[in-house]
Structure 1
Amino acid sequence: MTQTLDRVIATESALQMIDELRGRHGPLMFFQSGGCCDGSTPMCYPAGEFNLSDTDVYLGNLGGAPFYMGLEQFAYWEHTQLIIDVVAGNGGMFSLDNGTGRRFLTRSRLFTDEEFRLLSNQPVDRRER
C-alpha cells in the first residue's frame, strides 16, 4: 500500500465556512494568490470563475473544493503543508469570503524529511483528480 500526504488541509472552522459559502454560491474553488509565508490569503471563487493556466498546480481538495497555486509560487511552498484556517477580518476583494466578517488564512508547517521523501514519489498535478 502506498502512503500519500495531503499538500493542503483545512481546519474544522474553514470546512464549516466552505460549506456556508457553497450553500450560497454553489461549487467552489481556491487559488493561493501571492504570498510566500504564513498569513497569506487564499482566494475562494465559484468553481470555474478563475481561469487556470497550464502552469497552475492542483494541490488537493478542501471539503470538495479544488485548491490551486501557480507553479512558480509552488517552488516556494513545496516543502510545506498548507493549512487553511478562518480568522476575523475581511477577505480579498474578489474572494467569496469578503463581507462575511471572516476570511481564509494560510498557515503552514514544514514537512519532515521523511514526509518530503514520500512526496517526491507523488507527482504534482496540473489538474484536479
Structure 2
Amino acid sequence: MVERVVATDATLKFIHYLKDIHGPLMFHQSGGCCDGSSPMCYQQGELNFGDQDVLLGHIADCPFYIAKDQYQYWKHTQLIIDVVAGRGGMFSLEGPEGKRFLTRSRVFTNEERIELGLT
C-alpha cells in the first residue's frame, strides 16, 4: 500500500529522541497561520481532532493529521517529513532543539493514484 506520509531516516531518529523526552507524540500539518505550513509536533492528546481533520498515516508510530481543506490541495502528493537545522514552530516540540520539521512532497505516480482511488 502506498503511504501518504513518510519520514526521512534523520527525521525518524529525531522523533525517537523527542519521544524519549516528551513521551508519545502526534503531528499536524499546519495550513499557514502562525507557523507557516510546517508540520507541527505535539505530545499525543495535546490537540483534539475531528471531522475537519484527516489522518494521513503514521511516522515513527506517531499519528500524522492534516486539515481536510489542506488535504484537498495535497491529496495527489506524498508528504515527506524531513528535519533540518533552524528555528522550529513556536508551538511545536522541536523548537527548543535548534531544528525544525520540513514538509517536502512528490506527486504520486499514475499507478499510485489508482491504488489510492484518486483517479
TM over 0.5: same fold?
Answer: yes
Write the distance in 2 (CA, Å) between the matches of 1:101 and 1:53: 31
The 3-state SS of whatever aligns with 2:104 is strand
Give the structure 2 partner of residue 22 of structure 1: 19
Q: Partner amino acid for 1:18?
A: I
Write the distance in 1 (CA, Å) between the matches of 2:101 and 2:108: 22
Give the structure 2 partner of residue 126 of structure 1: none
Summarize the alignment of residues 93-104 of structure 1 with structure 2, pairs less than 5 Å apart.
93-104=90-101
**CA deviation digits over 1:46-98, x for unaligned, max 9?**
00001112221001110010000011110000000000000110111110000
Displacement, 1:40? 3.5
**CA deviation digits over 1:5-33, x for unaligned, max 9?**
10000000000110010000000000001
1:107 to 77, 81, 104: 104
Give the structure 2 partner of residue 46 of structure 1: 43
Write the distance in 1 (CA, Å) between the matches of 2:95 and 2:52: 27
Summarize the alignment of residues 57-72 of structure 1 with structure 2, pairs less than 5 Å apart.
57-72=54-69
List alignment gaps of at least 5 residues for structure 1.
122-129
Q: Does 1:11 align with 2:8?
A: yes
Displacement, 1:99? 1.1
Identity of aligned residues (%): 58
Instruction: Show structure 1 runs of 4+ deviating over 6 A.
Output: none
The 3-state SS of whatever aligns with 2:47 is coil
List alignment gaps of at least 5 residues for structure 2.
none
